[in-house]
Chains A and B, each alone.
Chain A
Amino acid sequence: MLAVLVLHAVAALLAPFLVRGLGNRALYLLALVPGGTFVWALLHRAPMSETYPWVPHLGMDLALHLGTLSWLMLLVVSGIGAVVLVYCVRYFDRGDESLGRFAGVFLGFATAMTGLVVSDDLLLLYVFWELTTVFSYLLIGHKGQQAAGRRAAMQALVVTTAGGLAMLVGFVMLGHGAGTYRWSEIAAGPLPEGSAVAAVLILAGALSKSAIWPFSFWLPAAMAAPTPASAYLHAASMVKAGVFLLGLMGPLLAQAAPWRPVAVVAGVVTLLLGGWAAMRQNDIKLLLAYGTVSQLGLLTVAFGAAGRTAALAGAALLLAHALFKAALFLVVGIIDRRAGTRDLRELSGLARRTPVLAAIAGLAVASMAGVPPLAGFVGKESLFAAFEHGGTTDRLVLIALVAGSALTVAYGLRFLWGAFAVKPGVPEVAWKKPGRAFVAPAGLLSVAGLAAGLGASWLDRVLTPYGEMFGGEGEHLALWHGFGLPLLLSAAVLAIGGIVFATQLHGRPWPRQRIPQAESVYMRLMSAVDRAAVEVTGATQRGSLPFSLGIILVVLVILGSSTLLLGGVNWPAGIRLWDTPLQLVVGVAVVASALVAARSRRRLTAMILVGVCGYGIAVLFVLHGAPDLALTQFLVETVTIVMFVLVLRRLPIRFSARPLRGSRMIRNVLAVATGLVTSAMAYVAVGGRTATPISADFAEPAVSYGGGHNIVNVALVDIRAWDTMGEISVLVVAATGVASLIFRRSGALQRRRAEQGTQPARTGSWMRAADNPEARRQSIILQVVARLLFHTIVLFSLYLLFSGHNAPGGGFAGGLVAGLALTTRYLAGGRRELNAAAPVDAGLLLGAGLLVAVGTGAVAMVAGGQVLQSALLDFHLPVVGHLHFATSAFFDVGVYLIVVALVLEILRSLGAELDRQHDAATREEKRALEKQKEPVG
């Protein structure tokens, strides 16, 4: 069974490509999957079970079970799925671009539906249940350009998902009570305590899925879907899911008090209301949709009554309904496509034009009406028999069933009349003859309804195991039960239905029904939710960044200070002034520059002061005993300053207009408050540290396991390797983002590639600058010094990279140093000099770095360890000598490459490209000026 599911899923994924490659015919190929499933199911009779471990921690397995009812549903789902797919080949125009998507979603739905009927685990069932909802949403909204389609899709989604959530709660209560989520195990045991609530919740899910009153409004709206989807989802399979659940759980849950009354009453009401509404419709597709609602009500009565005969009748009716209703929808699809209308006031004379189609529809309607010897008759008669001998309640239900069935006959006739009859005063519609392949699927389904009726004894034999689950004695499914009340009722139904139709045909229009639907409640609810969302969003999202940040900070201040003051915090006993007096000196510098930076209105001043702050922090790191931090901070601060200068040289000197005095006051108050609260929190937090830190034990494993003495760097590429991986990914993203923000046009990127290709010829002249026209503008001395230093700095960066395991350094520091080497070259000689120093594309370097880092992790996994696990390698090389290093060094190489690439990308974008844009703008201006002068001169 798992293989079937996987096959469906694969087909769904391949569908768009197949359709693109093969056109509409690809659907024949795809239909093989559900078709094959159908054959497989026919050959393998229930029951069957399969279990695969899935999430063992949660005790969740892929538990699949095929009972008799699921087997029947599987036949319906796969068989009709295959037929409808074949039908779609002709339904969609050749070259219709949306067909690929449709086919994919359709098969995705088939996967979910198949999964739904075969799952044994309730949670698994729920997952598939919601998946069918989602796919249904996508299919209803297939024509996403139309507002009505979108609204219908949303409505179906909201209603069925809400029901589904209620059902999930019911499942959890049930599973919790029984101690297992495996339905086959729950069903075998007694009813768990408190199942009444669970039963009601599950009913809510099932009834909303099957469009039972009061949730029935979504189904007619869902007719916005393409007709094949309506035939499959909203007639044959998905709407049956709710009824199926009733049938599946009925044997156990009917013991809960509310089950029977709720299901039967809702079913009866739906049966009557649906039939009533169908009489009013002029769109033959909507007529069928209301008919489906009505028939689902009938099925709900059958399964909800949870008796042996009724359930058996329900199973037969389920099959019959799937066959005739799918056939009718397919017929409607053909009429819609070939006549161009579905309005029965415009359709006229089709019976004469296409007698085959009319015969197919007639056969299907006969099955729906319960004419012997069709499948619908077999089911309906057994259902009448089930309520034949009961008390007053059963009598009432029986009367309702007869009334509902009579309505069914009436609207069935109305459908036939509406679609095919010659109407006086209406011109015959234009008709394009449909091909055989278009009509055949509908015919097949119609004839199948006849075959199922004639094979009633076979049907009885295969379905009896399901009926027996309800216990007790019961009737059999058969074509001939002898003369009795059921036969009489069947005849009466046909007669009454015929009379109703005939009187309605010549009388006034069918009156409206005024029983409230949940639709207006739904509309009001959705409207209220929307209004509330607008109010809340409008009140909280003011759209102003300072305002939003201010709110966050105010919360921080209030929460922080109230916790500190009222939360019973242990304030530390004492305070040290400093560890060394040098800290005070640096601290004063940092404080002073931060304060002045905050007040400065000039960009450059503020930036330099922020830089001073950063260097000060680096010194504090040194004093604290954190050389790696200090090194990295120094380097980062330097690169930051370079970046700022590169950008700020193009921006105005001063910050733009200051905020008003009042708001400045508020900002300052908030700033001071935040500072005070943070200080206080720092004070308390440090005092609160009493336990031995976890890092006390880092030293030994760093050497023995990580293969390095520098704990910080070993940890970065070992226990925190995943974080480092995330971090370098951020760097890659940032570098790409910078490039895409600055290189505005794709042409600019191409030019950049070309420029990199035209670096000066390598004639051993690495000190020459004469061939560089830009060079004349720059200081030759600086350039020569930069070139002299370049290789030394790069070498030093490599030293930092490889010594990082035992001494301060590592991939980050090394990469930054190499980046600074490039920066020197750029600052001294401009963009040509930069291209000469680094004749590679930064993107390439980024990719290479990521590849090395990920590759190291992957190799560890292939070698049998965990991802990114490091190992120690010892080997002897001639000349070099004995080598001892950890594999994490390779990871560090990846980090190094990415950091170099980031700096290179920054220089190329914020440096070289900005230069070029500036030059171009200047040239443009000059040219404009000259042009202005020309006419004068």
Chain B
Amino acid sequence: MTPNLVYIVVIGVLFAAGVSMVLERSLTRVLMGMILLGNGVNLLILLGGKAGTPPIVGLGPDEEMADPLPQIMILTAIVITLGMTAFLLALAYRSWAMSGHDEVQDDVEDRRIMQLAERDQGSGIDDVDHGVNR
């Protein structure tokens, strides 16, 4: 199959824009980035099948029909995105209501472990006895 330039450019731009938004801390912005990325991915999948008449039997000759398989996959992806968007929006709102902003904070537990690593200590869980005490 010969690639289609418009698709390729659009995919690249959607990815780039999506990535630049996803790398920020505001949850709503991350979510918008994810939506853009998702659109880019859908288009990428669509690109894998040939274009043509709608894949409905009897609408045209079977040979000219667009490849239905990528479409089937994308349809699932679109609806899942809807569910994810709803959930993340609720999360963003909750975060805003609780703490006054919707920014994704650094993970506290990860921070603690980083500090332990800097101090060359173990995790300090009591299941491991560090000093050999006998």
Contacts and interface: CB of A to CB of B under 8 A. Distances in A.
B32 A523 contact: no
A632 B5 contact: no
Interface residues of A, number: 129
Contacts of A632: 75, 78-79
Given A534-B123, A575-B3, A683-B8, A651 B96 contact: yes
7 contacts: A542-B106, A549-B22, A576-B2, A594-B17, A655-B24, A674-B16, A716-B76
A449 B74 CA distance: 73
Interface stretch (A26-34, A100-108, A736-744): A736-744
Interface string A561-605: 000000000001111111100011001001100110110000100
A711 to B, nearest CB: 4
A682 B74 contact: no
B35 A610 contact: yes
Interface in A320-348: none
Contacts of A676: 12, 16
From DSSP, what is the main secondary structure of chain B's interface residues? Answer: helix
Contacts of A620: 7, 10, 43, 46
Given A590-B10, A675-B15, A679-B8, A624 B106 contact: no
A617 interface: yes
Contact of A543 (B15, B90, B108): B108
A507 B75 CA distance: 86
A902 B107 contact: no
Contact of B47 (A617, A625, A686): A686
B2 A572 contact: yes
Given A629-B78, A667-B20, A678-B15, A735 B57 contact: no
Interface in A690-726: 690, 693-695, 698-699, 702-703, 709-712, 715-716, 720, 723-724
Contacts of B47: 682, 685-686
Given A574-B2, A575-B2, A682-B11, A648 B28 contact: yes
Contact of A624 (B46, B90, B101, B104): B46
A699 B85 contact: no
A759 interface: no
Contacts of A690: 1
A42 interface: no
Interface size of B as a range: 35 or more
B87 A678 contact: no
A901 to B, nearest CB: 12
Contacts of A738: 86-87, 89-90
B9 A617 contact: no
Contacts of A647: 28, 89-90, 92-93
Interface in A665-686: 667-668, 670-672, 674-676, 678-679, 682-683, 685-686
A687 B3 CA distance: 6
A573 B1 CA distance: 10
Interface stretch (A146-154, A208-216, A822-830): A146-154
Interface in A271-304: none
Interface string A620-643: 110111111100110010011001
Interface stretch (A393-401, A773-781, A804-812): A804-812
B8 A910 contact: no
Given A576-B3, A678-B11, A598 B17 contact: yes
Contacts of B25: 545-546, 656, 659
Given A909-B90, A910-B89, A534 B113 contact: yes
A603 B28 contact: yes
A538 B19 CA distance: 25
A523 B20 contact: no
Q: Choose among A524, A679, A738, A807 the residue with the greatest number of B CB atoms under 10 Å from its CB.
A: A679
The 5 closest A-B pairs by CB, nearest first: A538-B117, A543-B110, A675-B16, A679-B12, A625-B66
A534 B76 contact: no
Interface in A728-764: 730-731, 733-735, 737-738, 741-742, 744
Interface in B73-115: 74-76, 78-87, 89-94, 96-97, 101-104, 106-111, 113-115
B117 A534 contact: yes
